[in-house]
């Protein structure tokens, strides 16, 4: 048994499926007549139902944020580093809720689901989903769970964007908004990388205009490429140097800032893999494309591209936050070049302009955008302290 | 007629083809029995043949560095911003030589050439070429042209790497080495992007293991994707913001740091193009893939990945420069994130460690890696002043 399935793990968990039969009107103008959401929860909901935290996932995440699905499970949930008894999001204090978002491929209604109107997989007919749509669907889940107000809504990256949308659209529904490694909207460079990912997928001969499931294939190569591009943007230049620089440096008989690692000590003089980073990237791409749905990937990139809560306020994000009533915590990571600290500071500045209560923490970390998933001591301690304090306040308010 | 075909242009130019029948032993251990190089020259060679400058091209460049091939030519050579009468590389002072490198697709022997051994296109059988091989082939060209020593060897990016190799392998053959926006070797991130580009090309169903020419097709989509990825790395985040941020900002009724530009003012809620940057990238990719050879692209990325002149010196680049006898000028650009200023400083530090004469200039420029191709005033003035001074020295030494 994996030794992290110990006292600091939430242990064995099972997802629950919730069905919603009330139609959901989407930002695109389309309507989902009904939908299902896959949900996991960790920790006990207290008697006044005030200690619930919503965790929002990012591009490739799902409802399985912590713990294990079986004793033989080798991999824990995607945010197990931060969720568990005694961890930053402490399940001894909080009831944590995490769902697979609409359009996902983790079990919630999405492109791989059967479209009741046709009896076939939705595939490319699944409507474009925005962050706002997700939050609207999450409000219904909240109501179903009998939770009137989240103690906090927390997410990193695209998850952080959902946090911001919660604070804007449902100000009375959360006490704390914690957005990590997020951005107020995507940069042109961010969109450009997403476009490359989309082109990779849609150019794959197995894509069949999104109807690949009906043909019993899937655009594996295209999705692999998309993930490889994405993966480069999740890692920092320096973390890649650290990860792939050592063997080469030692091969060369000196400590060096090499940034690359020859696989075998000599060049192939062909198009085989020469450097560890190539092998690593291909492996990451292959692993991902074996399990993730390509149409979902397309939808997720569009949700990112479209995110811009300032759009209803003539581009003035501070006005978007005018009615927000929660406390904000923004966290960024020094080497994140996907959503760098500057992007978090933009949000902080707009919150300050709107007169909101905001804390901001910039963490020195070598791991790039991926840092938000990792147990980086200063980050975990800060999140833990913030949520510990929030819990004491919660108890004080209740008594 | 284009108004840059004026006094500051070298005007109409014609390439020349040079054939070399002496076998060229390559770094890979393979041998090219014979090869041809396409060459352009601008400006007059002086009587003592001392004023020749070799310009080395980067990944997608060729021999056509300046001027026009016909009166109706709408596009000048790739470095026309810097080469011409009165320009930074002043053809009133210097005789400029530029060639298409071996393995290229501009007319020099490469994958699109006919392999005399088979009577078919070389295609994937064309051997892997390294920067060192290029420089060895350039030495032969130099001898053919009756030039004993270059007044300078100049290049940006992969061109700058050829400059460094010249200074290391042929110290007596150049007076000045000018490496712009270069790096001592690729970072893991650089290699990762190249690997994505290669996978894009080789995964294209029209690639046919590199034998696409024989089938009358070419991997257009794959090459387009490769170029899109590359193009993102050539531009800075801030230059993309400037290029694609304006229309959206004005649409939203405010000056904003938007970084993206909605094409039509409203979202498509589909997978059509929503943002100008998507349209721009696709256009760049399509233009490129219509004219460039995919096997050449693969070769060029491997030449980049393999570049590391320290490899013969236990990883100590300063030792590689020990015998260099030229003066060095290194130039980098503030927003270049492909080969950032840090990479040029690494080279400078190794040159200083080796006790060499080196000047270093870091240019504040918004245009990222592409800046080296552009007429940025401080850059052009510095290059011009340096080469003007070098020319006066040349004349002094001759008299």
Establish whether A157 is a catalytic residue. yes
B31: which strand partners?
B25
Dist CA B160 CA B162 (whole Å): 5
Check residue A92 and report its DSSP letter. T
By Cβ distance, the residue of B249, B269, B337 closest to A128 is: B269
Q: What pLDDT is attached to residue B236?
A: 92
Dump pLDDT digits (tens) for A339-389.
Answer: 999 999 999 999 999 999 999 999 999 999 999 999 999 999 999 999 999
B127 touches chain A (CB under 8 A): yes
Q: Which residues of chain A does B127 touch, with a Cβ-Cβ cutoff of 8 Å?
A: 269
Would you call B254 and A224 a contact, using CB atoms and an 8 Å cutoff? Answer: no
From the list A307, A287, A348, A278, the residue with the least C-alpha distance to A169 is: A307
From the list A5, A4, A12, A3, the residue with the least C-alpha distance to A69 is: A12
Dump pLDDT digits (tens) for A55-108.
Answer: 999 999 999 999 999 999 999 999 999 999 999 999 999 999 999 999 999 999
Q: Token pair of A204, please?
A: 């794959």
Q: Calculate the average pLDDT of chain A.
A: 93
Dist CA B54 CA B155 (whole Å): 8
B117 touches chain A (CB under 8 A): no
Strands (E), A215-309: none
Among A25, A26, A29, A189, pick the best mutation site for testing chain B contact (most B Cβ within 10 A).
A189
Q: Token pair of B290, please?
A: 């219509």
A-B Cβ pairs (cutoff 8 Å, strict): 178
CB B99 within 8 A of CB B37: yes
CB B204 within 8 A of CB B219: yes
A235 touches chain B (CB under 8 A): yes
Asked if ipTM goes beyond 0.95, one says no
pTM more than 0.90: yes
Would you call A252 and B196 a contact, using CB atoms and an 8 Å cutoff? Answer: no
B202 touches chain A (CB under 8 A): yes
Would you call B314 and A253 a contact, using CB atoms and an 8 Å cutoff? Answer: yes
Q: What pLDDT is attached to residue A260?
A: 57
Q: What are phi and psi of B20, to 5 degrees?
A: -125, 120
- State the DSSP string of A112-171: TSEETTTTEE-GGGSPP--HHHHHHHHHHHHHHTT-SSBSEEEEETHHHHHHHHHHHH-G
Q: Which residues of chain A does B296 touch, with a Cβ-Cβ cutoff of 8 Å?
A: none
CB A214 within 8 A of CB A122: no
CB B17 within 8 A of CB B72: no
Instruction: Enumerate the active-site residues of B.
Output: 157, 336, 369
By Cβ distance, the residue of A222, A224, A260 closest to B187 is: A260
Would you call A189 and B259 a contact, using CB atoms and an 8 Å cutoff? Answer: yes
Would you call B244 and A198 a contact, using CB atoms and an 8 Å cutoff? Answer: no
Positions of chain B with pLDDT under 70: 1-6, 245-265
Residue in A with minimal Cα distance to B226:
A196
Note every long-range contact of A390-396, with CB atoms under 8 Å and residues 24 or more positions apart, other chains counting: A390/A151, A390/A152, A390/A175, A390/A176, A390/A327, A391/A51, A391/A90, A391/A93, A391/A94, A391/A151, A394/A50, A394/A51, A394/A151, A394/A175
B266 touches chain A (CB under 8 A): no
Nearest-CA distance B201 → chain A (Å): 11
A200 touches chain B (CB under 8 A): yes
Q: Are strands B152-156 and B52-56 parallel, antiparallel or unpaired?
A: parallel
Dump pLDDT digits (tens) for B143-188.
Answer: 999 999 999 999 999 999 999 999 999 999 999 999 999 999 999 9
Q: How far lies B289's CA from each of B201, B220, B282, B286, in Å?
A: 11, 5, 10, 5
Q: How far lies B147's CA from each of A123, B138, B140, B325, in Å?
A: 65, 11, 10, 17
Would you call B192 and A278 a contact, using CB atoms and an 8 Å cutoff? Answer: yes
CB B182 within 8 A of CB B154: no
Dist CA B189 CA B203 (whole Å): 21
Would you call A315 and B253 a contact, using CB atoms and an 8 Å cutoff? Answer: yes
B234 touches chain A (CB under 8 A): no
Dist CA B255 CA B257 (whole Å): 7
B22 touches chain A (CB under 8 A): no
Mean pLDDT of successive 10-residue stretches along chain A, which has 399 residues? 63 98 97 97 97 98 97 95 98 98 98 96 97 98 98 98 98 98 96 97 97 97 97 92 61 40 75 90 95 98 96 95 98 97 98 98 97 97 98 93
Q: What pLDDT is attached to residue A237?
A: 87
Spell out the domains of chain B, with CATH numbers in brackets.
16-185+309-398 (3.40.50.1820), 208-291 (1.10.1740)
Question: In this structure, what is the dihedral angle of CA atoms B285, B288, B290, B295, given to the nearest 10 degrees?
Answer: -100
Dist CA B300 CA B100 (whole Å): 12
CB A275 within 8 A of CB A263: yes
Dist CA A298 CA A222 (whole Å): 11
């Amino acid at each position: 048994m994996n030794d992290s399935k110990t006292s600091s793990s939430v242990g064995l968990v099972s997802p629950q499926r919730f069905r919603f039969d009330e139609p959901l009107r989407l930002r695109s103008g389309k309507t989902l007549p009904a939908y299902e959401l896959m949900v996991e929860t960790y920790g006990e909901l207290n008697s006044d139902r005030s200690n619930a935290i919503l965790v929002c996932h990012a591009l490739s995440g799902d409802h399985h944020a912590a713990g294990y699905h079986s004793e033989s499970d080798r991999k824990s949930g995607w945010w197990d580093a931060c969720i568990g008894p005694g961890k930053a999001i402490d399940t001894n204090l909080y009831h944590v809720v995490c769902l697979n978002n609409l359009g996902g491929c983790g079990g919630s209604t999405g492109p791989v689901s059967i479209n009741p109107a046709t009896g076939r997989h939705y595939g490319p007919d699944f409507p474009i989903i925005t962050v706002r749509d997700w939050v609207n669907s999450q409000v219904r889940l909240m109501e179903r769970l009998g939770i009137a107000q989240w103690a906090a809504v927390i997410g990193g990256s695209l998850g952080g964007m959902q946090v911001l949308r919660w604070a804007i659209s449902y100000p009375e529904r959360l006490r704390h908004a914690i957005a990590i490694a997020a951005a107020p909207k995507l940069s042109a460079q961010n969109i450009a990388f997403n476009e490359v990912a989309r082109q990779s997928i849609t150019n794959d001969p197995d894509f069949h205009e999104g109807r690949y499931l009906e043909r019993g294939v899937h655009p594996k190569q295209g999705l692999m490429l998309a993930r490889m591009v994405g993966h480069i943007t999740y890692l920092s230049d320096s973390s890649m140097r650290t990860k792939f620089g050592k063997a080469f440096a030692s091969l060369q008989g000196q400590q060096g800032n090499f940034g690359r690692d020859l696989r075998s000590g000599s060049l192939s003089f062909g198009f085989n893999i020469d450097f560890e980073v190539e092998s690593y990237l291909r492996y990451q791409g292959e692993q991902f494309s074996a399990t993730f749905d390509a149409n979902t990937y397309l939808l997720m990139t569009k949700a990112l591209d479209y995110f811009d809560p300032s759009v209803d306020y003539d581009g003035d994000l501070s006005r978007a936050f005018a009615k927000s009533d929660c406390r904000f915590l923004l966290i960024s990571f020094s080497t994140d070049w996907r959503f760098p600290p500057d992007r978090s500071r933009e949000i902080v500045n707009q919150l300050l302009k709107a007169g909101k209560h905001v804390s901001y923490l910039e963490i020195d970390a070598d791991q790039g955008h991926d840092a938000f998933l990792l147990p980086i001591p200063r980050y975990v301690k800060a999140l833990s302290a913030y949520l510990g304090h929030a819990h004491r306040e919660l108890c004080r308010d209740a008594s």
